[in-house]
Amino acid sequence: MPSIVVTADDEAVDVAAERENAVVLAKSLTIDNQGGITDRVITLQDVFTPSNYYGAPTPIVDQDIERFRALVVAGDIITWGEEDLKGVKCLGAMQVLSTVADAALDHCYVTVGYEHE
């Protein structure tokens, strides 16, 4: 199972790229806000472009759908396993987004384990 560690920021960060004819399943998630000085909300987003259909505006814009949301208190670390993340799947690219910008003294790290189905 591949995994990636990213710094949580208020700009979305790709965790797993979109793969044609496959979904991305979240298998594990650890949010480490021990170095953080602010509480923050972390979301896993599903970003994809829907298929074009008759009568749709061209070009069709990307869809950003929230698949998971968690509040993480400053100084805390939280881990979710496969059973906790059951049903968290992305049709397109999986991205991590924070409500707080990453700053010099306020770091939060997100580790996501995933697989393609």
Least confident of 46-50, 92-96, 106-110: 46-50
Domains of the chain: 3-116 (2.60.40)
- Given a contact cutoff of 8 angstroms between Cβ atoms, the answer to whether 9 and 102 are in contact is yes
Helix then strand count (H, E) for the chain reads: 0, 9
In the predicted structure, residue 84 carries a pLDDT above the cut 70? yes
If you average pLDDT over each of 20-24, 35-39, 102-106, which comes out highest? 35-39
Cα 45 to Cα 48, 53, 92, 105: the distances in Å are: 10, 24, 9, 26
Output the pLDDT for position 42.
97
